[in-house]
Amino acid sequence: MGAEDANLLARVAGGDLGHPLEELYDRYAGRLYGLGLRLLGDPGLAEELVQETFVRLWQSAGRHDPQRGSVASFVFTIARRLAIDLQRRPSSRPFAELEADQGPARDPGDAIDQLLVGLNVRDALDSLPDGQREVLELLYLQDLTQRQVADRVGVPLGTVKTRAFYGLRALRQTLRARDIDV
Amino acid sequence: MSEPVSPHVEVAAYVLGKLEADEVAAFEAHLAGCADCQRQVAELRGLPELLATATPTIPVPDPLRDRTLVAVRQAAARAGPAPAAEASVPAAEAGVSAAEVPAPVAAAPARRPWWRRRWLVVAVAAAALVAALAIPGALLLRGGGGEVTRLTLVAAEGGRGRGQVIVTRTAGGRSFDVRIQGLPPPAPGSLYELWAVNPQDTLERPQRVSLGTFTTAADGSARLTAFTAAPADRFPVVGVTLEPVDGNPARTGPRVLAPGPSG
């Protein structure tokens, strides 16, 4: 998926604003929108974050070096800067209230970094083979037992266990490749 | 009916806290003598905490896709040839250095006349965009017809609220699809008025046309569609004022929402 993303971005950099751009949008918009909503507390600003991230992604697409970082990191780096800018805009009241709740000295960058870890985890989960991702989500995020997951997915219990095992290992590998301590 | 499973793969269920008490005892007995499993447990132990932070996938509003694609293509049309040609600089942070990501748009200076804030940007955007986006409106030309521009509205000094405006060129002029948020309902006896404004507009020498009046819901939101045949080159930006219900069609009240950055 990473190499595929890099290929799409390279085509965007080359001026193809058709399918490659649409594909990148479909892959990243959900997570960017989720980031915007959690961070900015406002659907309008979240939409602005998504839109402006893609404009800047296009502007800097030619500078992405796949040897130095994934497209996901590249996208979220752009989004992070934009989110800080949007937070500082005087009209971004929801965030101002959020900040007040959490204490006045809080650096908006810290909150964003925490959310970016969440985005990277989501991204890493989504990069797993479907079977592994599904098992991990049901087991942990929906808190089902292994037996319940086996019934839900319609596979033997042993398959649930092996998928969870290889899924977790792959997840760790993916996150470490993104410099997230695991 | 469980088939035989290597005890090693129980590591996952163990660190995820998914083993029953008797299974935990059995696995820990195995763990005590299995260096491989000990290493796996140590490596995977931190994952559950991280998993809990995974951002939920949230459905994105459908129109945003078209707007975003349009905005990128619009920026590309403005810029001319692809930016790849100018950039082969090695990058540092996440594959890109700080200097290379375009700087965020600076906030508008507080004391400039409201209509002047970003009208140039908005006007350039209006001239450059060639794309079609489906929005409500009987006059809308679909397909290769309407040029679409996305404008934003921001709170005027000391005020509240914001909005997004999708402007579509139609056969008869322009259609404005307006979404307002965070703007408290007007006091009794007053209403909000949406305007298409010329950048030279002043209170003394008004150059604006009304796009209609509206109120907001208790949650500060409003959604409206407006039309005008007033020429876009003369009235390129939009704004909102608070007006008394006095039968006077001219602007007399304070500005409430001013042009923000173009989409």
Of the two residues A137 and B131, the one the predictor is more confident about is A137
pLDDT exceeds cutoff 50 at B228: yes
**Which chain B residue's Cα is nearest to A169?**
B44
Residue recorded with tokens 């039309």: B227
* CA neighbor of B131 nearest in space, from B177, B197, B60, B75: B75
Q: Which of A93-97, A158-162, B54-58 has the lowest mean pLDDT?
A: A93-97
Nearest to B222 by CA among B192, B245, B202: B192
- Contact criterion met (CB < 8 Å) for A93 and B92: no
Out of B50, B101, B260, the one facing A56 most closely (by C-beta) is: B101
- Chain A from 104 to 163: CB within 8 A of any B CB: 114-115, 117-119, 121-122, 125, 136, 139-141, 145-146, 156-158, 161-162
Ramachandran area for residue A67 (φ above 0: left; ψ -120 to 50: alpha; else beta): alpha
The Cα of B156 is separated from the nearest Cα of chain A by a number of Å equal to 9
Q: Is the CATH number 2.60.40.1840 carried by domain A2-127?
A: no
Work out the minimum CA distance from B30 to partner chain A, whole angstroms.
16
For each of the domains in chain B, give its residue range(s) and CATH number, in order of start: 8-51 (1.10.10.1320), 114-259 (2.60.40)
The ipTM, to two decimals, is 0.70
Same fold, A2-127 and A129-182: no
Distance CA B133, CA B35 (A): 61
More confident residue, A131 or A93: A131
Q: Which residues of B touch A61 (CB under 8 A)?
A: 83-84
Residue B41 with chain A: CB contacts under 8 Å? none
For residue A115, pLDDT beyond 60: yes
pLDDT tens digits, A118-164: 878 888 898 899 999 999 989 987 888 999 999 999 999 999 999 99
Q: Is the pLDDT of residue B130 over 60?
A: no
Which 182-211 residues of chain B touch chain A by CB within 8 A?
182
**Pairing mode of beta strands B208-214, B237-244:** unpaired
Which of the pair, B99 or B70, is modelled with greater confidence?
B70
Q: Which residue has the higher pLDDT, B142 or A40?
A: A40
Distance from CA of B202 to the nearest CA of A (A): 24
CB nearest B89 (choices: A63, A140, A175): A63
- Residue A11 CB contacts under 8 Å (≥ 6 apart), including other chains: A20
Instruction: Supply the pLDDT for residue A13.
Output: 93
3-state secondary structure of B131: coil
Instruction: Please list, residue by residue across B177-212, b when 16 or more beta carbons sit within 10 angstroms of its beta carbon and e when fewer do.
Output: bbbbbbbeebeeebbbbbbbbbbebeeeeeebebbb
pLDDT band, very low/low/confident/very high, at A98 (cuts 50, 70, 90): very low
CATH topology of domain A129-182: Arc Repressor Mutant, subunit A (1.10.10)
Percent of chain B with pLDDT over 90: 23
Q: Count CA within 13 A, CB hemisphere, residue B79.
A: 19
Facing B104 at nearest CB: one of A85, A119, A165: A85
Q: Is the pLDDT of residue A95 over 50?
A: no
pLDDT tens, position by position, A38-82: 778 788 889 999 999 999 999 999 999 888 888 888 898 898 889
Residue B93 has pLDDT above 60, yes or no: no
Average of pLDDT values for B162-167?
89
CB A120 within 8 A of CB A177: no
Q: Which two tokens stand for residue B61?
A: 């509003």
CB B71: neighbour CB atoms within 10 A?
24
Q: How far is B247 from chain A (nearest CA, A)?
A: 32
Strand partners, B224: B178
B15-29: pLDDT as tens digits: 998 888 888 999 999
Question: Is the model's pLDDT at B133 over the cut of 70?
Answer: no
Cα separation, B193 vs B243, whole angstroms: 7
Tell me the residues of chain B between 163 and 182 that have a Cβ less than 8 Å away from chain A.
163-164, 179, 181-182
How does residue B157 score in pLDDT terms, banded at 50, 70 and 90?
confident
- Computed on alpha carbons and rounded to an integer, the radius of gyration of chain A in Å comes to 18
The DSSP call for residue A140 is I
Q: Ranked by mean pLDDT, which of B39-43, B122-126, B175-179, B221-225 comes out on top?
A: B39-43
Predicted pLDDT at A108: 56
**Mean pLDDT computed over B200-225:** 85
Place of tokens 């004391």: B111
| B131 vs A: CB within 8 A | no
What tokens were used for B253?
Answer: 């009240």
Which range of A70-79, B87-96, B178-187 scores highest in mean pLDDT? It is B178-187
User: Which chain B residue is nearest to residue A9, measuring alpha carbons?
Assistant: B84
A:B CB pairs within 8 Å: 242
- Quote the pLDDT of residue B105: 39
Task: Say how far apart CA A56 and CA A79 lie, in whole Å.
Answer: 9
Domain extents in chain A:
2-127, 129-182
B84 contact A CB<8A: yes
User: Are the beta carbons of B51 and A141 separated by less than 8 Å?
Assistant: yes
Query: Is pLDDT larger for residue B238 or for residue B110?
Result: B238
**CB contact set of B161 (below 8 Å; sequence gap of 6+):** A91, B153, B155, B180, B181, B182, B183, B184, B216, B220, B256, B257
Q: Which of B44, B52, B155 sits opposite A91 (nearest CB)?
A: B155
Report A:61-80 residues touching B (Cβ under 8 A).
61-70, 73-74, 76-78
